[in-house]
Amino acid sequence: MNALSEQILSELRHLLSEMSDGGSVGPSVYDTARALQFHGNVTGRQDAYAWLIAQQQADGGWGSADFPLFRHAPTWAALLALQRADPLLGAADAVQTATRFLERQPDPYSHVVPEDAPIGAELILPQLCGEAASLLGGVEFPRHPALLPLRQACLVKLRAVATLPSGHPLLHSWEAWGTSPTTACPDDDGSIGISPAATAAWRAHAVTQGSTTQVGRADAYLQAASRATRSGIEGVVPNVWPINVFEPCWSLYTLHLAGLFAHPALAEAVRVIVAQLDARLGVRGLGPALHFAADADDTAVALCVLRLAGREPAVDALRHFEIGELFVTFPGERNASVSTNIHALHALRLLGKPAAGTSAYVEANRNPHGLWDNEKWHVSWLYPTAHAVAALAQGKPQWRDERALAALLQAQRDDGGWGAGRASTFEETAYALFALHVMDGSEEPTGRRRIAQAVARALEWMLARHAAHALPQTPLWIGKELYCPTRVVRVAELAGLWLALRWGRRVLAEGAGAAP
């Protein structure tokens, strides 16, 4: 066990030291399909098309059947890309089965827009639907009527603006509304809105309209984004890149949740990242990437990390996103994020600032079981629950919540893991352990024994599935579709396993119910 703990620390140290390359993000069906469609040269991207076909599920759609709300964008996009690649082996069959899939699917946007709808759904889905209707007339596809007025309202606002500033949030979905390359300009990384799909669309329009001065930078960006997937296939791209603020911020925050933030073995790697964050945090806050708009979520987590490292960051950067007693992730967003407000609450408490309103909002957004599942950036309820428990307990050593604890323990699967879908995942099991770690500190002996038993079962499940330097494969984070920020997730997996190992050693040494 000691050898495994050392191996985990070594891998964590290696992951943290790599976080200067823009970030690691798993491949995206949606963005790859859009990039292939805009690229146009089928023969030059055969491997990427083959990858796209291989991702199709048995029912004809793309994306996890566990989370149907997030299957429309990748399926529409893959259908449209493959419809133009008919000579390729398997393309015609994939189009036929995808068409049947879409004909059978209920329309989640027939009357209302779900709270956890994918990013840019109001712009992207109607546009994809319209393209498909013109290419495949007569097919009874979902039409997403509830999104149409939202798209129209957004387009009216966009027509009133000649050029959006670099890094504006709406540039992330430029492929769904942009037609003139003059409405956007590549940022310092060569991207349009840190989006491969948007950048590929902009590049295609720029070439067609003769505005080629920035095309080389867009090409370089798309190549770098493709490398970030670690797929080894040219043209396979991620959902978002770079994530050179989000990745280190969330990784260090996760270390804190596992009790690893100040571990001597990670001290130097943590120090380097903290220094970078400290230098980058300005009065307007931080976004997921250096050249993207600031938001409350990244700003709040950065403030948490800096305070945990002993710095004294100013809370003013977070106040820009405060409306009443609520924090908006981005100004003008469709609906508020529970996890953004959880992170704002944690930052405010760490900084010793009043947070009664934010705390009340977080408490009010539980489900009937006492957990948090109304989240727009992550599909699993275990993610906001772990973070909410940490935020609510911050500075309150006697904080207890029997209802949440009972629900969390009851949600453990027979195999010992946790998961919001049909199977347990390493990432979600780690989040459960982070929450239990906080709860254990103020529990009575009986409660601690219940927790220890759950942790022992989780540890057995994790040990049976752990492999050194494995790449996470399950996309649970919400973008235009579900995606996987690879290093962020791997840090969570390793931190969860390290915590369970340490917990198990203490239980053996001190008797059932000992805490890490």
DSSP states of 29-65 as a string?
HHHHHHHHHHH--SGGGHHHHHHHHHT--TTS--S-T
CA dist 52 and 501 (Å) reads: 39
Considering just the CA atoms, what is the radius of gyration of the chain in Å? 23
Residue with tokens 């050249």: 291
Instruction: Locate the domains of the chain by residue range.
Output: 27-141+161-227, 242-511
Both ends of the chain: CA-CA distance in Å? 15
CB atoms within 10 A of CB 308: 17
Same fold, 27-141+161-227 and 242-511: yes
Q: Which of 215, 208, 343, 224 is nearest to 285 (CA)?
A: 343
CB atoms within 10 A of CB 482: 27
CA dist 275 and 311 (Å) reads: 10
Contact yes or no for 318/296 (Cβ under 8 A): yes
CA dist 270 and 267 (Å) reads: 5
Contact yes or no for 126/142 (Cβ under 8 A): no
CA dist 467 and 368 (Å) reads: 37
Domain 242-511 has CATH 1.50.10.20: yes
Tell me 411's DSSP state: T
Residue ranges of the chain with per-residue pLDDT less than 50: 512-514
Tell me 309's DSSP state: T
**Within 394-469, where are the H helices?**
402-410, 426-440, 445-465
Per the DSSP assignment, residues forming a β-bridge with 418 are 425
User: What pLDDT is attached to residue 1?
Assistant: 64
Q: What CATH architecture does domain 27-141+161-227 belong to?
A: Alpha/alpha barrel (1.50)
Q: Which of 494, 471, 424, 380 is nearest to 26 (CA)?
A: 471
Residue type, 153: A
User: What pLDDT is attached to residue 137?
Assistant: 72
Tell me 177's DSSP state: T
CA dist 330 and 328 (Å) reads: 6
User: What pLDDT is attached to residue 449?
Assistant: 93
Contact yes or no for 393/443 (Cβ under 8 A): no
User: What pLDDT is attached to residue 513?
Assistant: 47
CB atoms within 10 A of CB 13: 17
* HSE, side-chain direction, 13 A CA sphere, residue 502: 19
Decide the pairing of beta strands 322-323 and 482-483. unpaired
Q: Does residue 242 have a cis bond before it (omega within 30 degrees)?
A: yes
Residue with tokens 């620390």: 9
**Within 188-326, where are the H helices?**
196-208, 215-228, 246-257, 267-280, 296-308, 316-319
